[in-house]
Amino acid sequence: MNFQHTEDRRMLADALNRYITQAYSFETRRNIEASHEGYSEAKWNQLSELGVLGALFTETEGGFGGSGFDIAVVFESLGRGLVVEPVLGSALLAGSAVLAAGRSGHESLAQGLISGSRIAALAHAEPDSGYSLTHVSTLARRDGDGWMLSGSKANITQGQSASTFVVSARTAGEFADVDGLSLFVVPAGAAGLSLHEHAAVDGGRVIDLKLDDVRLPATALLGEEGRASDVIECALGKGVLALCAQAVGAMDVALASTLEYLKTRKQFGVPVGSFQALQHRMATMVIEVEQARSALINASAAVDGTDRLAREKALSAAKYLIGKVGTMVAEECVQMHGGIGMTSELPLSHYAKRLLMIDHELGDAAFHLERYTRLKED
């Protein structure tokens, strides 16, 4: 298999890395993260103009990429810059769900998510669902010609900037059944919908939703009633791939900054990087990160395949390994920096927190190890 990126992907990666280096400094990111919106509309538009959003979708969907490797290239670069704009939450997760479900009746939303003119969020996880894809207790029942939704959603990625939510709800079956799940398009200002925003470990924001008899028209149903499980799995699978790529990009930066620190920090008149024990620890990290990169490549290839079992196994294997390695890199790099490694003024501490957060998004290492084992037995 040829793992070399196409010329178009290399050009996109070069342009995005150059943009992040020149226009998305650490201080710029901190100011954006601390703002009321939690993202920059100007930066969001610039990312869209660079082709970042279009690269996540196929030509038939209105983009120019859409493969697993396209997703990996984009998010590895975003991970290097710790970009906070809602590329993951809006374009990839919500956009993939809308397009996979069938955009009939929601063409303007689909086009807006690809172009960046609309921002949405996928609301699927619930307070008591853990990381399960099918544990959904939010109910959608017929209400005349429309629908009425009641329930709660939790830990919605980058949801504070969304004007629209793509909400999963059960229209049939029991709490953990695979069948009976449906998706609905819910405006952020809908009556009966309340939002609670809270800070994440890495300084970002997630929101919880409370749906209290939210009335929706019949056209709010996205795709076929009761058939959304595969759509949700596909969208969240792409999200897992994106998080793995983000982590690899962040680990590269953390390793580079730690190596530079070891070369310049001196003890007993010599650079601390000359100490054999620290050299061994750095070498171990480099090997582990390369293993994580290999897992990312394997998952990127599997996402484009037609074998559902192979795809899900590769994604869970990558998320498990990268979650474990990311946690190790975060801890080791902070320790090698000493006390300064914990300070918010040092970019490294933010990379470390992001790596820890990635492990817990869309399933932590323990969850994906158990899921991989279960899938292997199928």
pLDDT tens digits, the chain, 378 residues: what are they? 556 778 888 999 999 999 999 999 999 999 999 898 899 999 999 999 999 999 999 999 999 999 999 999 999 999 999 999 999 999 999 999 999 998 778 999 999 999 999 999 999 999 988 899 999 999 999 999 999 999 999 999 888 889 999 999 999 998 889 999 999 999 999 999 999 998 888 888 889 999 999 999 999 999 999 999 999 999 999 999 999 999 999 999 999 999 999 999 888 888 887 888 999 999 999 999 999 999 999 999 999 988 999 999 999 999 999 999 999 999 999 999 988 888 989 999 999 999 999 999 999 999 999 999 999 887
Taken in order of first residue, the domains within the chain and their CATH numbers are: 7-115 (1.10.540.10), 120-226 (2.40.110.10), 230-377 (1.20.140.10)
Per-residue three-class SS string for the chain = CCCCCCHHHHHHHHHHHHHHHHHCCHHHHHHHHHCCCCCCHHHHHHHHHCCCCHHHCCCCCCCCCCCHHHHHHHHHHHHHHCCCCCHHHHHHHHHHHHHHHCCCCCHHHHHHHHHCCCCEEEECCCCCCCCCCCCCCCEEEEECCEEEEEEEEEEEECHHHCCEEEEEEECCCCCCCCCCEEEEEEECCCCCEEEEEEECCCCCEEEEEEEEEEEECHHHEECCCCECHHHHHHHHHHHHHHHHHHHHHHHHHHHHHHHHHHHHCEECCEEHHHCHHHHHHHHHHHHHHHHHHHHHHHHHHHHCCCCHHHHHHHHHHHHHHHHHHHHHHHHHHHHHHHHHHHCCCCHHHHHHHHHHHHHHCCCCHHHHHHHHHHHHHC
